[in-house]
Structure 1
């Protein structure tokens, strides 16, 4: 917020200077010196000789894949971004979006709705208290349990 206030004060100061002076203050440079560097009139050309090749650097900034060859650096950068963006993100997203339901979540939900409809039409409770018939369950007697701790 303070930066906005300072900016407004600065623009008001510039306007007042323009009104008080008969000269017009130019705030924007219109020169076409696009390749101007700090103190150098010509581009840097530096030759490095290695065991088998001579590499000439001329205003080249590496992408970080190869620091000796501009062509190898650009090829590695293009290949890396092609494989990572195009193949992994685009095609990977397509495969992920249209991959079949392996965990059968959709099937389980459909089965649940069909079971609810069946129970409603037959007049049964929606959730049965005895999911398994109690006569089919064989529980141990108190003598068989003995001192076993039962956690419910």
Structure 2
């Protein structure tokens, strides 16, 4: 036998009359209506628990919670999500790409002119002060 999924519904016309036999429809409509069987329950007031403030408002619980939720929303969403998105797509602010491109251009120019990649006299030897042999003593020099 079919279960009664529509205990409070009335099936009287159309496709429902074909699908369900009249005896089944009578059992569906024979149920007491909602208003006849409903009992009014007394509403119970919820016991308030001790409220611990989040530190935003010490007088009003609702204002304290709203301020806490707004603060965490803006700090997480705006700072972390949008901040990391901006950081990922910020232009090359330290000019690393520019320095590498410039080095390749200079290397190509020096190769084209037949010069070594780095000039041995890049720094003027007159400006370099080296220690004397007496100052070095027995220090091992590795070249």
Range class of TM-score, shorter chain: 0.3 to 0.5
Name which structure has the greater RCO, CA cutoff 8 Å, separation 6+: 2
Q: Which has the larger radius of gyration?
A: 2
TM-score (norm 2): 0.47
Q: Which has the higher strand share?
A: 1
